[in-house]
Amino acid sequence: MPYAERNPDGTLIALYATQNERAHEFMTANHPEIAAFLADSANGQVHARMQASDMEMARVVEDLIFVLIEKNVIKLEALPAVTRQKINQRAQIREAISNALSDQLFPGA
């Protein structure tokens, strides 16, 4: 029941349940190209979700480090120099973003 849309190179780029102006080619559901296309799409989605999760976890780790420093559980000076540098860079970036947002939301304050 799937109808395939292909790019000019002949690569499968989309599947549709019904035939339309872009998808004329009928393919059986068990066609190897369909299996490969769906696997690539699923892997791409999983990869995108993992990247988003990595970004969220980076923020969690960053917040955790600041809490541990504030509570004197760890000392910033005890961390490797490269780690300190990255923490300081992120703190400066966050402060700049916060200041820019404050200026936009509360001009002249």
pTM above 0.85, yes or no: no
Please state the domain extents for the chain. 1-57
Tokens of 33: 């190209």
Overall average pLDDT of the 49-69 stretch:
88
Q: Which residues of 24-55 are buried (b: 16+ CB within 10 A; e: fewer)?
A: eeebeeeeeebeebeeeeeeeeeeeeeeeeee
How high is the pLDDT of residue 46? Answer: 64
Overall average pLDDT of the 8-18 stretch:
89
Q: Which of 35-44, 65-74, 89-98 has the lowest mean pLDDT?
A: 35-44
pLDDT digits (tens, 9 = 90+) for 71-83: 999 999 999 999 9
How high is the pLDDT of residue 80? Answer: 95
